[in-house]
Amino acid sequence: MKLVRLIRHGESAANAGAATQDHQSIPLTEHGVDQARRVAHSFATAPDLIVTSPFSRALATAQFTASAFPSVPMETWPIQEFTYLEPARCVNTSVAQRRDWVREYWNQANPTFVDGDGAESFLEFVSRAEAFLRRLAAHPAEDIVVFSHGQFINAVAWLIERQPTEIDSRAMVDWREYEIVNHVENCGGYQLMYGQSDSGWRLTSRDAEGAALRARLS
């Protein structure tokens, strides 16, 4: 049986309300660093593999766990956050300043729409999540810790729970509602299990790492 823990990065400057230069190099705040350090200390045993997004806030979070277990391999996979707004027009903007653009994008509910250079469609985003699950299932490691992003983590969970047959407008609306209801806190996440002999992927708990962390700190 394969165990996978999906963990969102620690608090970033954007999460704290700051304007940022680009979507890839957003740093952790001091609080985010502390969260990442505490997550690393929450593991009772070493995992078999650490996987991280290429975005700096996830890499920085993963590095604390990698440092705690230096013999565990760490790999970078394309599990970065969903970039649905054109990065060039988001330079020096905050989450609050982008709110109208975000609302406009989701109101369209067009899964093939691409906002501009460097952006991806919802269909491409979901395809990355599907590819991630296939890669996890095929990997020989049995205990895997993954550091990624809130929307990507929820895309994975949504695929497992809802099992959509077509990524159309209705599926896009459904995912957006799912993502809002199941918002993943910084350094929170999900626990997945996979067995070839049963139905495949199962979502066994939400906020698995966050719950373990809070238990250790209480």
Domain map (residue ranges) of the chain: 2-217
Residue 75 contacts residue 43 (beta carbons within 8 Å)? no
Q: What is the mean pLDDT of the chain?
A: 92
- Average pLDDT score over residue span 153-177: 97
Nearest-CA neighbor of 109 among 159, 173, 162, 164?
173
Q: What is the pTM of this model?
A: 0.92
Q: Which fold has domain 2-217?
A: Rossmann fold (3.40.50)
Q: Looking at the predicted structure, is the pLDDT value of residue 77 above 80? A: yes
Question: How much of the chain, in percent, has pLDDT values that exceed 90?
Answer: 80
Residue 28 contacts residue 60 (beta carbons within 8 Å)? yes
Residue 61 contacts residue 213 (beta carbons within 8 Å)? no
